[in-house]
Structure 1
C-alpha cells in the first residue's frame, strides 16, 4: 500500500459532495434523478491535492465535460425512443455511442491535463444514463447535474473557510502539450476506442446468448488496464480490477441483505465514496471493494434489479472487460515480437 497523501481530505470532500445532493433528492422524493447527481459529484475527484486556484480550474473543466457527457447520454436514450429502435438496435446504438465517448473524452482529458487520466468515469456516466428507459424530464435532470457540479466546486474550495488553510490564489498558465504528449494522447484515445468498442460488442453478443445485461460494465472494465506507466502495471490493474470487484460484490451482497431504506442507502453511498477516495491512489484492489457497491447501489436507486442478477452481471461483465483490456495492452508488444521474429526468419 502506498503512503497516505492527505487522502482523507479528498475523501471527506467527495463523500459530502455526493451525500448532500442525494439526501436532498431523497427528501424531495425524486430518486429518479439520483443518477444525475451521482455523476455530477464526480467533479470532486479531480484536482485532489492541487492548490485552490489550480483545483478550481481543473474541476471546472472536469465538471463541464461531465455535464456534456450526461447531456449526451440523456439525448442518446431519447434517440432510441424517438426512432422506435428495437431493444437490440438500441443496445448497439449505445455501444457505438459509448465507444465514441471513450475515445473522445480520453483525448479531451489528456488535452486538459486532468487527473485521474482516461475516460473511465465518462464511459460509466454516459452508458448508465443512456441505458435508462424511463428518462425524467431533461431540464430537471440537467438542473440536478449542474447544481451538483456547482456544489462539488464549492466543496473543492471549502477549506478556505479555515484561515490557516487558505492558500494564495494562483492561476496556472496554460501549458500546451508537447509533440510527444500529443502523440501519446492520440494513441491512448485509439486504445480507449478499441478496448471499449471490443468489450461492448463482445459483452453484448455474449449477453444476448447467455441472457445477461449491463454491457457497459465490460466497457468500463476494459479501459482500466490502459492506465499505467508500464505493461506490467497495466496488466496488474486488470487483474486487480477482477479481484477487487469480486470482493466488492461480497460487501454489496451483505449490504443488500440489510434492505436499507433510501436515506440509509445514501449513507452507504457516501461511506463507499469516502473509502474509494481513501484508497484509489494507494491500493487499487482495496479501492475496488468500495467502488463496486458504490457503482451498483447508485444504479439500483434508479433501476431496481434483482440482487442475484446484479451480482452475476457485474462479475461476468468485469471479467469480459478486463480480459479485453489486457489483450489490448498486450497486442502492441505481441505484434512487435512477431514482427521481429518474422524479420529474423527472413534474414
Structure 2
C-alpha cells in the first residue's frame, strides 16, 4: 500500500516554476532559431545541449554555474562521442544488425562511465539517464550533419543555458553572494557506493539494451535505447521501495504521456508549433520531476517523442508502440536489478540457516 500511495503523492514545491521557466526558454530559443534557419537536422544537438539547465536547480549562482559548466561539459563530450561513433560505424560498413549491437555496447559503456563522473562531481540529477539518451539518440541518426556545425549548435546552446542560469542576478533582490566553496571530496564509503552503483548502471543498461534489441528483431520494433533509458530509472533512490516505485511510475507515466502525445499528433502541428509543445512539456516536466515522478513522465514522454519526430519523422503509431514496449522492458530490467541484491541476501540467509539447523553427524 505504501508503494501504491507513493505513486500518487506530490511533494511540496521548491521554486520549481523558476527552474521550469529557465529550462523551457533554454530549449525554445535554440529550437525556434533552427526552425527559422530551416536546419532541423541540428535540432537534436540543441535539445540535448539545453539539458545543461537542469543542473544546479536551486543552488546559489556561483555554485549553480560550477554545476552547470560540469553538466554541460559532460553532455558536450557525450554528444561529440556519439557523433564520432555514428561516423565510425558508417566507415566500417557494418550491417544494420552489427551497427545496432555496437550501439548497445557503446551506450552501456557511456551509462557506466557517466554515472561515475556524475557521482564524483556530485551532480543532481544523479545517474546517467540523460547521457544514455543523448548518446544513443545521436549515434543512431543515419544522416549526420557536419560535425563542426552540430557541435557549434551544442556549444552555443550550452552557453545560452549558462547565461539563463545566471539571469536572475539582474534583479538585486534575487542576487546571491558569489561564494563557491570547494566541494568536499567523496568519502571512502561514497566512493565504494559510486563504484557499486555504476556496476548497476552497467548491468541494467546492458541487459535492457540486449533484450530491447532482441525484442526489436522478434517483434519488429525499434528504439532499443529507450529500454536502456528506462532501465536506469529505478537505480536512483535511497530505498528499495522508492526505486521500485520509480520504475512503476515510469511505466504508468509513459502510458498516460502517450495518450497526451496521441492527442497532440492528431492536431498535426507544424515545426514551430512542435517547438512550442516541446517548450511547454519541458516546463511541465521540470515543474514535477522532483515532486511527482509519474506526473512528470506525462510531460517527459511527449517531450522526448516530439523531439524525435522533429529530427527524424516516422509513423506516429510505430513510435507510440515502440515507446511503451521498450519502456516496459527497461523498467522491468531496472526493477529486477534493484531487487536482485536483496533476493541474493535472502537466499544466502536461508542456506546458512539450513546449514546451522542441520543435525550434527554422529561419530561412532
Bin for the TM-score computed over the shorter chain: over 0.9
Among 323, 333, 338, the residue aligned to 2:342: 333
Query: In the TM superposition, what are the counterparts of 1:184-195 in structure 2 within 5 Å?
Result: 184-195=193-204
Deviation at 1:174, TM superposition (A): 2.9
Deviation at 1:307, TM superposition (A): 0.6
Q: Report what 1:257 is aligned to.
A: 266
Among 119, 134, 148, the residue aligned to 2:128: 119
SS in 1 for 2:14: coil
Q: Does 1:33 align with 2:42?
A: yes
Q: Does 1:134 align with 2:134?
A: no
Please identify the structure whose Cα radius of gyration is greater. 2
CA distance in 2, matches of 1:282, 1:181: 25
Q: Report what 1:60 is aligned to.
A: 69
User: CA RMSD, aligned part only?
Assistant: 0.5
Query: In the TM superposition, what are the counterparts of 1:1-347 in structure 2 within 5 Å?
Result: 1-347=10-356
Which stretches in structure 1 are left out of the alignment for 5+ residues? Answer: none
How far does the alpha carbon of each residue in 1:80-110 deviate from its partner, in whole angstroms, 9 at most, with x for none? 1010000000000000000000000000000
How far does the alpha carbon of each residue in 1:145-203 deviate from its partner, in whole angstroms, 9 at most, with x for none? 00000000000001011121111101121310000000000001000000000000011
How far does the alpha carbon of each residue in 1:20-50 deviate from its partner, in whole angstroms, 9 at most, with x for none? 0000000000000000000000000000000
Question: Normalised by the size of structure 1, how large is the TM-score?
Answer: 0.99
CA distance in 2, matches of 1:165, 1:343: 60
CA distance in 1, matches of 2:257, 2:188: 41
SS in 1 for 2:238: coil
**Matched pairs, number:** 347
Greater than 3 Å deviation, 4+ residue runs: none
CA distance in 1, matches of 2:181, 2:78: 26
Question: Normalised by the size of structure 2, how large is the TM-score?
Answer: 0.95
CA distance in 2, matches of 1:201, 1:135: 25
CA distance in 2, matches of 1:16, 1:212: 34
CA distance in 1, matches of 2:343, 2:243: 15
How far does the alpha carbon of each residue in 1:120-149 deviate from its partner, in whole angstroms, 9 at most, with x for none? 000000000010000000000000000000
CA distance in 2, matches of 1:173, 1:97: 33
CA distance in 2, matches of 1:328, 1:318: 15
